[in-house]
Structure 1
Amino acid sequence: MRLYQGPEALVHSRCERERAVSHWLLAAAEDMKEAREQWETRGIALLRCGGLFAAIRIPAGIVQAAAGTEDPKRIGVYLDEAVHGPVFIDTSSQRYYALVPASTSRLPQWADRQVPEAECLGSGCFLGVPRPQRTEPEMFRPYWCVPMDGPGALCSPDAVSQLVAYGRYQRALGERLAVEGDEDGHG
Protein backbone atom coordinates (compact mmCIF):
# COMPACT_ATOMS: atom_id res chain seq x y z
CA MET A 1 0.00 0.00 0.00
CA ARG A 2 1.36 3.40 -0.98
CA LEU A 3 0.14 6.57 0.61
CA TYR A 4 0.08 9.76 -1.40
CA GLN A 5 0.77 13.00 0.41
CA GLY A 6 0.91 16.17 -1.62
CA PRO A 7 2.03 16.77 -5.18
CA GLU A 8 5.50 15.22 -4.87
CA ALA A 9 5.57 13.13 -1.70
CA LEU A 10 5.19 9.38 -1.99
CA VAL A 11 5.20 7.52 1.32
CA HIS A 12 5.69 3.78 1.43
CA SER A 13 4.04 1.64 4.04
CA ARG A 14 6.11 -0.03 6.73
CA CYS A 15 5.37 -3.41 5.18
CA GLU A 16 6.69 -2.33 1.76
CA ARG A 17 9.81 -0.85 3.34
CA GLU A 18 10.47 -4.03 5.34
CA ARG A 19 10.00 -6.13 2.19
CA ALA A 20 12.47 -3.96 0.27
CA VAL A 21 14.98 -4.09 3.14
CA SER A 22 14.57 -7.88 3.40
CA HIS A 23 15.25 -8.33 -0.30
CA TRP A 24 18.29 -6.06 -0.12
CA LEU A 25 19.74 -7.84 2.93
CA LEU A 26 19.08 -11.28 1.44
CA ALA A 27 21.28 -10.32 -1.51
CA ALA A 28 24.18 -10.71 0.96
CA ALA A 29 23.33 -14.38 1.58
CA GLU A 30 25.20 -17.21 -0.08
CA ASP A 31 21.82 -18.84 -0.72
CA MET A 32 18.85 -16.44 -0.66
CA LYS A 33 16.27 -19.21 -0.35
CA GLU A 34 18.06 -20.78 2.61
CA ALA A 35 18.51 -17.40 4.30
CA ARG A 36 14.82 -16.61 3.83
CA GLU A 37 13.99 -19.98 5.46
CA GLN A 38 16.34 -19.19 8.35
CA TRP A 39 14.52 -15.90 8.91
CA GLU A 40 11.16 -17.67 8.88
CA THR A 41 12.15 -20.54 11.18
CA ARG A 42 14.82 -19.00 13.45
CA GLY A 43 14.37 -15.27 13.03
CA ILE A 44 17.99 -14.75 11.99
CA ALA A 45 19.91 -15.53 8.81
CA LEU A 46 23.61 -15.85 8.18
CA LEU A 47 24.65 -13.05 5.82
CA ARG A 48 28.01 -12.23 4.27
CA CYS A 49 29.67 -8.95 5.20
CA GLY A 50 31.87 -6.99 2.82
CA GLY A 51 29.70 -6.95 -0.31
CA LEU A 52 26.65 -4.82 0.44
CA PHE A 53 27.55 -3.79 3.96
CA ALA A 54 30.02 -4.20 6.80
CA ALA A 55 29.08 -4.34 10.47
CA ILE A 56 30.76 -2.68 13.42
CA ARG A 57 30.53 -4.85 16.53
CA ILE A 58 30.33 -2.89 19.79
CA PRO A 59 30.11 -4.27 23.34
CA ALA A 60 26.81 -3.46 25.05
CA GLY A 61 28.59 -1.74 27.96
CA ILE A 62 29.99 0.92 25.64
CA VAL A 63 26.60 1.60 24.02
CA GLN A 64 24.87 1.71 27.40
CA ALA A 65 27.48 4.12 28.77
CA ALA A 66 27.08 6.40 25.74
CA ALA A 67 23.28 6.31 26.01
CA GLY A 68 23.39 6.76 29.79
CA THR A 69 20.90 3.94 30.29
CA GLU A 70 20.36 0.19 30.12
CA ASP A 71 16.73 0.59 29.00
CA PRO A 72 16.41 -0.99 25.52
CA LYS A 73 13.83 1.51 24.25
CA ARG A 74 15.85 4.54 25.35
CA ILE A 75 19.01 3.01 23.86
CA GLY A 76 17.19 2.59 20.55
CA VAL A 77 16.15 6.25 20.55
CA TYR A 78 19.71 7.30 21.43
CA LEU A 79 21.26 5.14 18.70
CA ASP A 80 18.82 6.45 16.10
CA GLU A 81 19.88 10.00 16.90
CA ALA A 82 23.60 9.19 17.25
CA VAL A 83 24.34 7.05 14.19
CA HIS A 84 21.33 7.66 11.90
CA GLY A 85 21.29 4.13 10.60
CA PRO A 86 20.46 0.49 11.29
CA VAL A 87 21.65 -1.16 14.49
CA PHE A 88 20.72 -4.50 15.99
CA ILE A 89 21.69 -6.25 19.20
CA ASP A 90 22.33 -9.88 19.93
CA THR A 91 21.25 -9.99 23.57
CA SER A 92 22.85 -13.39 24.15
CA SER A 93 26.34 -12.08 23.31
CA GLN A 94 25.64 -8.53 24.55
CA ARG A 95 26.95 -7.00 21.33
CA TYR A 96 25.48 -4.31 19.13
CA TYR A 97 26.01 -4.32 15.37
CA ALA A 98 25.87 -1.09 13.37
CA LEU A 99 25.55 -1.69 9.62
CA VAL A 100 27.90 0.55 7.65
CA PRO A 101 29.06 0.75 4.03
CA ALA A 102 31.17 -2.23 2.91
CA SER A 103 34.15 0.07 2.29
CA THR A 104 34.33 0.88 6.03
CA SER A 105 36.53 -2.14 6.73
CA ARG A 106 39.18 -0.58 4.46
CA LEU A 107 39.24 2.77 6.30
CA PRO A 108 42.50 3.19 8.28
CA GLN A 109 40.85 3.42 11.72
CA TRP A 110 39.01 0.15 11.13
CA ALA A 111 41.54 -1.73 8.99
CA ASP A 112 44.29 -0.98 11.52
CA ARG A 113 41.99 -1.64 14.51
CA GLN A 114 42.55 1.86 15.88
CA VAL A 115 39.11 1.97 17.51
CA PRO A 116 39.53 0.12 20.81
CA GLU A 117 36.92 -2.45 21.84
CA ALA A 118 35.00 -2.27 18.55
CA GLU A 119 35.60 -4.29 15.41
CA CYS A 120 34.56 -3.87 11.81
CA LEU A 121 33.39 -7.08 10.19
CA GLY A 122 34.09 -6.92 6.47
CA SER A 123 35.00 -9.35 3.69
CA GLY A 124 35.30 -12.93 4.84
CA CYS A 125 32.97 -12.44 7.82
CA PHE A 126 29.48 -13.81 8.23
CA LEU A 127 26.92 -12.38 10.61
CA GLY A 128 23.61 -13.64 12.01
CA VAL A 129 21.23 -10.83 11.06
CA PRO A 130 17.68 -10.68 12.46
CA ARG A 131 14.85 -10.35 9.98
CA PRO A 132 13.73 -6.72 9.57
CA GLN A 133 10.43 -7.27 11.43
CA ARG A 134 12.22 -8.13 14.69
CA THR A 135 12.11 -4.82 16.52
CA GLU A 136 10.86 -5.70 19.99
CA PRO A 137 13.34 -6.44 22.81
CA GLU A 138 10.83 -8.37 24.90
CA MET A 139 10.12 -10.98 22.25
CA PHE A 140 13.41 -11.97 20.65
CA ARG A 141 17.08 -12.35 21.41
CA PRO A 142 18.52 -10.59 18.36
CA TYR A 143 16.42 -7.61 17.30
CA TRP A 144 16.74 -4.28 15.53
CA CYS A 145 17.14 -1.37 17.96
CA VAL A 146 17.12 0.92 14.95
CA PRO A 147 15.49 -0.71 11.91
CA MET A 148 16.72 0.05 8.39
CA ASP A 149 14.85 2.95 6.77
CA GLY A 150 15.31 1.42 3.34
CA PRO A 151 17.65 -0.63 1.17
CA GLY A 152 21.21 0.64 1.46
CA ALA A 153 20.41 3.15 4.23
CA LEU A 154 23.44 2.56 6.49
CA CYS A 155 25.20 4.21 9.43
CA SER A 156 28.00 6.70 8.97
CA PRO A 157 31.30 5.06 9.99
CA ASP A 158 32.42 8.36 11.55
CA ALA A 159 29.26 8.57 13.66
CA VAL A 160 29.84 5.01 14.89
CA SER A 161 33.49 5.84 15.73
CA GLN A 162 32.31 8.86 17.72
CA LEU A 163 29.71 6.75 19.52
CA VAL A 164 32.37 4.24 20.56
CA ALA A 165 34.77 6.98 21.71
CA TYR A 166 32.03 8.72 23.70
CA GLY A 167 30.85 5.46 25.27
CA ARG A 168 34.40 4.54 26.29
CA TYR A 169 34.84 8.03 27.80
CA GLN A 170 31.55 7.86 29.71
CA ARG A 171 32.34 4.37 31.00
CA ALA A 172 35.81 5.44 32.17
CA LEU A 173 34.36 8.55 33.80
CA GLY A 174 31.76 6.45 35.62
CA GLU A 175 34.44 4.03 36.81
CA ARG A 176 36.64 6.89 38.03
CA LEU A 177 33.76 8.49 39.91
CA ALA A 178 32.89 5.14 41.48
CA VAL A 179 36.47 4.69 42.68
CA GLU A 180 36.58 8.23 44.05
CA GLY A 181 33.26 7.63 45.81
CA ASP A 182 34.63 4.45 47.40
CA GLU A 183 37.76 6.32 48.55
CA ASP A 184 35.67 9.14 50.04
CA GLY A 185 33.40 6.68 51.82
CA HIS A 186 36.30 4.80 53.42
CA GLY A 187 38.56 7.70 54.23
Structure 2
Amino acid sequence: MQKDYKKVEASQVVISELMLPSHSNFNGKIHGGYILSLLDQIAFACASKHSGAYCVTASVDTVDFLRPIEIGELVTMKASVNYVGRSSMVIGIRVEAENIQTGDTKHCNSSYFTMVAKNNQGESVEVPGLILQNDNEIRRFAKSIKRNKMKKKRVQEFHETDFSSERYLHLLEEHKVKIEKD
Protein backbone atom coordinates (compact mmCIF):
# COMPACT_ATOMS: atom_id res chain seq x y z
CA MET A 1 0.00 0.00 0.00
CA GLN A 2 1.34 3.41 -0.96
CA LYS A 3 1.67 6.24 1.51
CA ASP A 4 -1.17 8.76 1.38
CA TYR A 5 1.23 11.72 1.18
CA LYS A 6 4.89 12.19 0.28
CA LYS A 7 7.28 15.07 0.77
CA VAL A 8 8.38 16.88 -2.39
CA GLU A 9 12.03 16.05 -1.67
CA ALA A 10 11.26 12.30 -1.65
CA SER A 11 10.69 12.33 -5.41
CA GLN A 12 13.21 14.92 -6.58
CA VAL A 13 15.59 13.80 -9.32
CA VAL A 14 18.79 15.45 -10.52
CA ILE A 15 20.69 14.38 -13.63
CA SER A 16 23.80 15.82 -15.25
CA GLU A 17 25.18 15.18 -18.70
CA LEU A 18 28.10 16.58 -20.66
CA MET A 19 26.94 18.05 -23.98
CA LEU A 20 28.74 16.49 -26.93
CA PRO A 21 29.08 17.57 -30.57
CA SER A 22 26.62 14.81 -31.52
CA HIS A 23 23.95 16.69 -29.52
CA SER A 24 24.35 19.91 -31.51
CA ASN A 25 22.24 21.46 -34.25
CA PHE A 26 23.47 23.06 -37.49
CA ASN A 27 24.28 26.27 -35.61
CA GLY A 28 26.65 24.55 -33.18
CA LYS A 29 24.29 24.87 -30.18
CA ILE A 30 22.74 21.92 -28.38
CA HIS A 31 19.63 20.82 -30.24
CA GLY A 32 16.36 21.69 -28.47
CA GLY A 33 14.95 18.29 -29.40
CA TYR A 34 17.75 16.56 -27.51
CA ILE A 35 17.01 18.68 -24.42
CA LEU A 36 13.29 17.84 -24.77
CA SER A 37 14.15 14.14 -24.78
CA LEU A 38 16.17 14.54 -21.56
CA LEU A 39 13.33 16.58 -20.02
CA ASP A 40 10.85 13.81 -20.78
CA GLN A 41 13.16 11.22 -19.22
CA ILE A 42 13.64 13.12 -15.97
CA ALA A 43 9.90 13.95 -15.79
CA PHE A 44 9.17 10.22 -16.11
CA ALA A 45 11.70 9.36 -13.39
CA CYS A 46 10.38 11.99 -10.97
CA ALA A 47 6.71 11.11 -11.53
CA SER A 48 7.34 7.37 -11.28
CA LYS A 49 9.33 7.87 -8.10
CA HIS A 50 6.47 9.84 -6.55
CA SER A 51 3.64 7.58 -7.72
CA GLY A 52 5.37 4.20 -7.52
CA ALA A 53 3.79 3.45 -10.91
CA TYR A 54 4.58 3.60 -14.60
CA CYS A 55 3.92 7.14 -15.86
CA VAL A 56 3.14 8.59 -19.26
CA THR A 57 3.49 12.13 -20.54
CA ALA A 58 0.03 13.70 -20.87
CA SER A 59 1.19 17.15 -21.92
CA VAL A 60 4.09 19.51 -21.98
CA ASP A 61 2.56 22.65 -20.57
CA THR A 62 5.51 24.98 -20.93
CA VAL A 63 9.03 24.76 -22.30
CA ASP A 64 10.89 28.04 -22.17
CA PHE A 65 14.27 27.98 -23.90
CA LEU A 66 15.94 30.91 -22.18
CA ARG A 67 19.60 30.64 -23.21
CA PRO A 68 21.48 28.41 -25.64
CA ILE A 69 23.53 25.48 -24.39
CA GLU A 70 27.03 25.08 -25.78
CA ILE A 71 28.99 21.96 -26.70
CA GLY A 72 31.20 20.99 -23.74
CA GLU A 73 28.91 22.42 -21.07
CA LEU A 74 27.66 20.24 -18.22
CA VAL A 75 23.86 20.31 -18.21
CA THR A 76 22.10 19.65 -14.92
CA MET A 77 18.36 19.07 -14.73
CA LYS A 78 16.48 19.27 -11.45
CA ALA A 79 12.95 17.85 -11.33
CA SER A 80 10.32 18.12 -8.59
CA VAL A 81 6.67 17.24 -8.25
CA ASN A 82 5.00 20.66 -8.13
CA TYR A 83 1.36 19.52 -8.10
CA VAL A 84 -0.70 16.36 -7.81
CA GLY A 85 -4.25 15.61 -8.88
CA ARG A 86 -6.00 12.26 -8.62
CA SER A 87 -3.73 10.44 -11.08
CA SER A 88 -1.75 13.31 -12.61
CA MET A 89 1.32 15.19 -11.50
CA VAL A 90 2.93 18.39 -12.73
CA ILE A 91 6.68 17.99 -12.80
CA GLY A 92 8.67 21.22 -12.75
CA ILE A 93 12.14 21.00 -14.28
CA ARG A 94 14.96 23.53 -14.14
CA VAL A 95 17.86 23.21 -16.59
CA GLU A 96 21.22 24.79 -15.89
CA ALA A 97 24.39 24.64 -17.97
CA GLU A 98 27.85 24.98 -16.47
CA ASN A 99 31.02 25.91 -18.26
CA ILE A 100 33.24 23.32 -16.64
CA GLN A 101 36.39 25.34 -17.28
CA THR A 102 35.21 28.57 -15.64
CA GLY A 103 32.50 27.23 -13.30
CA ASP A 104 30.02 29.82 -14.65
CA THR A 105 26.44 28.53 -14.64
CA LYS A 106 23.36 29.80 -16.45
CA HIS A 107 19.66 29.02 -16.23
CA CYS A 108 18.78 27.71 -19.70
CA ASN A 109 15.32 26.23 -19.49
CA SER A 110 12.23 25.87 -17.32
CA SER A 111 9.63 23.24 -18.14
CA TYR A 112 6.38 21.81 -16.81
CA PHE A 113 5.36 18.28 -17.78
CA THR A 114 2.01 16.75 -16.83
CA MET A 115 2.47 13.07 -16.16
CA VAL A 116 -0.20 10.43 -15.45
CA ALA A 117 0.32 7.27 -13.38
CA LYS A 118 -0.88 4.03 -15.00
CA ASN A 119 -1.25 0.41 -13.93
CA ASN A 120 -0.32 -2.67 -16.00
CA GLN A 121 -3.68 -2.52 -17.79
CA GLY A 122 -3.05 1.08 -18.87
CA GLU A 123 -5.66 2.51 -16.49
CA SER A 124 -4.98 5.68 -14.51
CA VAL A 125 -4.17 5.08 -10.85
CA GLU A 126 -4.36 7.38 -7.86
CA VAL A 127 -1.13 9.04 -6.76
CA PRO A 128 -0.05 10.08 -3.25
CA GLY A 129 -0.69 13.65 -2.18
CA LEU A 130 2.08 16.15 -1.50
CA ILE A 131 3.38 17.41 1.81
CA LEU A 132 4.36 21.05 1.25
CA GLN A 133 7.05 22.20 3.67
CA ASN A 134 8.03 25.72 2.63
CA ASP A 135 6.88 28.82 0.78
CA ASN A 136 8.61 27.75 -2.44
CA GLU A 137 6.73 24.44 -2.55
CA ILE A 138 3.43 26.21 -1.74
CA ARG A 139 4.13 28.77 -4.52
CA ARG A 140 4.87 26.02 -7.06
CA PHE A 141 1.67 24.13 -6.17
CA ALA A 142 -0.45 27.31 -6.35
CA LYS A 143 1.10 28.34 -9.69
CA SER A 144 0.33 24.87 -11.06
CA ILE A 145 -3.33 25.30 -10.09
CA LYS A 146 -3.34 28.64 -11.91
CA ARG A 147 -1.67 27.13 -15.02
CA ASN A 148 -4.21 24.28 -15.03
CA LYS A 149 -7.11 26.75 -14.98
CA MET A 150 -5.59 28.72 -17.87
CA LYS A 151 -5.02 25.48 -19.79
CA LYS A 152 -8.66 24.40 -19.33
CA LYS A 153 -9.81 27.81 -20.58
CA ARG A 154 -7.54 27.50 -23.66
CA VAL A 155 -8.86 24.01 -24.43
CA GLN A 156 -12.42 25.25 -24.07
CA GLU A 157 -11.78 28.14 -26.47
CA PHE A 158 -10.22 25.87 -29.09
CA HIS A 159 -13.21 23.54 -29.00
CA GLU A 160 -15.82 26.24 -29.61
CA THR A 161 -18.33 25.05 -32.18
CA ASP A 162 -19.84 28.42 -33.00
CA PHE A 163 -16.65 29.95 -34.39
CA SER A 164 -17.13 33.15 -36.34
CA SER A 165 -14.04 34.93 -37.65
CA GLU A 166 -15.77 38.30 -37.29
CA ARG A 167 -15.64 37.88 -33.50
CA TYR A 168 -11.84 37.71 -33.66
CA LEU A 169 -10.89 40.28 -36.30
CA HIS A 170 -10.20 42.99 -33.67
CA LEU A 171 -7.49 40.72 -32.19
CA LEU A 172 -5.62 40.71 -35.50
CA GLU A 173 -5.36 44.47 -35.95
CA GLU A 174 -1.93 44.84 -34.30
CA HIS A 175 -0.37 41.81 -35.99
CA LYS A 176 1.49 41.28 -39.21
CA VAL A 177 -1.34 39.59 -41.07
CA LYS A 178 -3.26 40.26 -44.25
CA ILE A 179 -6.69 38.76 -44.82
CA GLU A 180 -7.78 37.93 -48.38
CA LYS A 181 -11.11 36.15 -48.15
CA ASP A 182 -12.79 34.81 -51.31
Normalising by structure 1, what TM-score? 0.29
TM-score by length of 2: 0.29
Greater strand fraction, Structure 1 or Structure 2? 2
Highest relative contact order (Cα 8 Å, sep 6+), 1 or 2? 1
Greater share of helix: 1
Bigger Cα Rg: 2
